[in-house]
Amino acid sequence: MDVRGHGAIVTGGGSGLGAETARALAGAGAKVCVLDVNADAVAAVAKETGGLGLVCDVASAEAAEAAVAQAREAHGPCRVLVNCAGIAPAKRIVGRNGPMALADFEQVIRINLIGSFNLLRLAAADMVGAEALDDGERGVVVSTSSVAAVEGQIGQAAYAASKAGITGMMLPAAREFAKVGVRVMTVAPGLIGTPLLLNMPQEVQDNLAGQVPFPHRFGTPGEFAGLIMHIVENRMLNGEVIRLDGAMRMQ
Ligand SMILES: NC(=O)c1ccc[n+]([C@@H]2O[C@H](COP(=O)([O-])OP(=O)(O)OC[C@H]3O[C@@H](n4cnc5c(N)ncnc54)[C@H](O)[C@@H]3O)[C@@H](O)[C@H]2O)c1
């Protein structure tokens, strides 16, 4: 899709991969609405991209409905949704103090998986009701999974389950929306240099980066945003997970 003049929504747009994706979409001429729970961050990215910045918990039905409605009013129907909001707390299933609290597992599933579905359902409703563009295309949704969906580490039971859920719901969604020209894709990053990783001690960073065969480093948010833009533009990409990991396979 040529995004020029069309409404786009980026969740988790206040930081890291989401912020860089918002910049790329705005640079290509989209009218971008960024959603995040971090009010200062969302305002800064909205200012930079000349779009809308809304404080929104992606896991809340009411907050997301209100945010998508506000974005529609300002920018027209959502044509591009990029789900980047996520959290990645590490916790063993049975730790020193006994079993992991069920609420900890639920929180990760709520934000990462239910949050991605929540925006998918609302943005897709906008797309389904919008006019068909070139080739009959109405919209595109890209969600962010992780290589942990298939190679989760100790401590990542909740995170890995949430990311596997994102890849699992992609194909039914792509099939359901195929007849109306809405594509659904997933990106599974390996290690990308966002504040999440770059705030770790240097030796931990070096050790992690050392596990990436080539290029022997973290990916950059720009490389992630570049892939998102390609997916948005390339109409043959639908119902697929693309790894962005420099051939890394976690042990
Ligand atoms: N950086 C990596 O190496 C990497 C690897 C694999 C997957 N991912 C995934 O990519 C996505 C973006 O990660 P990042 O590295 O940019 O992290 P980040 O922490 O820089 O950005 C995540 C953003 O999501 C926001 N957020 C958290 N909970 C939210 C909620 N309930 N509602 C709305 N916004 C919320 C945060 O405030 C933050 O701005 C995440 O889903 C993460 O799991 C990242």
Pocket test for ligand 1, best of 17, 108, 205, 218 (most atoms within 8 A of CB): 17
Our count of domains for the chain comes to 1
Amino acid at position 116, single letter: S
**pLDDT tens per residue, range 13-30:** 999 999 999 999 999 999
**Residue 6: pLDDT band with limits 50, 70, 90:** very high
Atom of ligand 1 nearest to the CA of 85: 24
What CA–CA distance (Å, rounded) separates 194 from 43?
19
Taking CA atoms, 104 is separated from 89, 144, 158, 189, 190, in Å, by 9, 21, 8, 23, 23
Q: What's the average model confidence in pLDDT over 176-188?
A: 98
Q: Decide if 246 is inside a domain.
A: no
Please state the atom number of ligand 1 nearest to the C-alpha of residue 86: 41
Q: Has residue 249 been placed in a domain?
A: no
Output the pLDDT for position 199: 84
Is the pLDDT at 197 greater than 90, yes or no? Answer: no
Q: What is the CATH number of the domain that holds 95?
A: 3.40.50.720
pLDDT band at 251 (very low <50, low <70, confident <90, very high): confident
Ligand 1 pocket: which of 15, 23, 120, 122 to mutate (most atoms <8 Å of CB)? 15
pLDDT tens-digit map of 219-231:
999 999 999 999 9
- Average of pLDDT values for 126-144? 98
- Of all residues in the chain, the percent with pLDDT exceeding 70 is 100
Q: Report DSSP state, residue 28.
A: T
pLDDT of 201 > 90? The answer is: no
Is 212 touching ligand 1 by the criterion CB < 6 Å? no
Say how many Å lie between the CA of residue 184 and the centre of ligand 1: 19
181 pLDDT exceeds 80?
yes
Domain ranges, residue 104: 7-240
